[in-house]
């Protein structure tokens, strides 16, 4: 099946599951196009897809130059671990950085946004499952970062919510527990920082987006189920 058909199938599934949980229309789809060519992204965009996710800034930058020209409405989210020296390019090309996984990176994001006068949305990546490596380890560190944003230290940074990756396992209970942990964090932080809108819960991938929606996901990040298997030896 082609990208267009896969996309339609994934969307139909999202609709049907979210309807069952009484959350119809509440779940956005981020199409994760890493390791797939610009032609695949264009195919998805032609089929009406607007939100795209990429792990690597360099790769995204090359690909999205072409996509943005044809589809000015397309938006890019960075979802992979962001190195400091890639932040400048990341803030130039992305509307959201979902993989804010440590406090120090906020200084660099603010600096680079200020240089070009751009505001950027961010999600805090939270470590909720044993097998994933990235993300904030503690709720206190996230609280401290939100505290700094609320004091005006990062005027170009708009916090919107949280992101996580569930452990790669067949154990549905463990996956569910991971998503539940993110939801609980989000409820707690929203109550402590009512001045921000922290409702975005980016959770769920090709293998577990059904569970994620049941657990309150507002954005699923789906790659393989839309674009097919990736041409890479590792799981990045």
Ligand X SMILES: *Cc1c(COP(=O)(O)O)cnc(C)c1O
**Which residues of this chain interact with ligand X, rule CB under 6 A?**
32, 34, 55, 79-80, 165, 205-207, 221-225
Residue among 25, 69, 26, 77 at smallest CA distance from 51: 77
- Judged by beta carbon, residue 56 or residue 112, the one nearer ligand X is 56
Shortest distance in whole angstroms from residue 223 CB to ligand X: 3
- Judged by beta carbon, residue 79 or residue 96, the one nearer ligand X is 79
Specify the DSSP element, H or E, that contains 125: strand 120-125
Residue among 51, 88, 81 at smallest CA distance from 67: 51
β partners of residue 220: 29
Given a contact cutoff of 8 angstroms between Cβ atoms, the answer to whether 129 and 176 are in contact is no
Shortest distance in whole angstroms from residue 170 CB to ligand X: 14
- Judged by beta carbon, residue 183 or residue 221, the one nearer ligand X is 221
Shortest distance in whole angstroms from residue 225 CB to ligand X: 6
Q: Residue written as tokens 């657990």? A: 215
Shortest distance in whole angstroms from residue 99 CB to ligand X: 7
Shortest distance in whole angstroms from residue 55 CB to ligand X: 5
- Judged by beta carbon, residue 82 or residue 149, the one nearer ligand X is 82
- CA distance between the termini of the chain: 23
- Judged by beta carbon, residue 73 or residue 229, the one nearer ligand X is 229
Using CA of residue 179, residue 185, residue 188, residue 193, what is the dihedral sign?
A: negative
**How many CB atoms sit inside 10 A of residue 96's CB?**
25
Taking CB atoms, the residue at the shortest distance from ligand X is 223
Counted residue by residue, the chain has a size of 236
């Amino acid at each position: 099946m082609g990208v267009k058909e896969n996309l339609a199938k994934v969307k139909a599934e999202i609709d049907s599951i979210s309807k069952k949980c009484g959350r119809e229309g509440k779940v956005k789809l981020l199409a994760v196009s890493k390791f797939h060519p610009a032609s695949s992204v264009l195919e998805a965009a032609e089929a009406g897809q607007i939100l795209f996710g990429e792990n690597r800034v360099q790769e995204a930058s090359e690909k999205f130059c072409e996509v943005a020209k044809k589809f000015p409405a397309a938006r890019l989210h960075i979802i992979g671990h962001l190195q400091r020296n890639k932040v400048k390019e990341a803030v130039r090309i992305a509307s959201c950085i979902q993989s804010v996984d440590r406090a120090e990176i906020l200084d660099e994001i603010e600096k680079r946004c200020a240089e070009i006068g751009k505001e950027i949305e961010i999600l805090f990546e939270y470590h909720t499952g044993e097998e994933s490596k990235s993300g904030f380890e503690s709720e206190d560190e996230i609280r401290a970062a939100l505290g700094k944003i609320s004091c005006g230290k990062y005027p170009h940074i708009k916090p919107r919510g949280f992101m996580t990756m569930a452990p790669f396992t067949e154990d549905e209970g463990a996956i569910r527990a991971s998503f539940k942990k993110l939801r609980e964090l989000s409820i707690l932080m929203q109550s402590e920082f009512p001045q921000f809108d922290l409702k975005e819960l980016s959770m769920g991938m090709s293998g577990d987006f059904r569970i994620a929606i049941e657990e309150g996901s507002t954005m699923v990040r789906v790659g393989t189920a839309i674009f097919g298997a990736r041409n890479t030896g590792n799981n990045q």
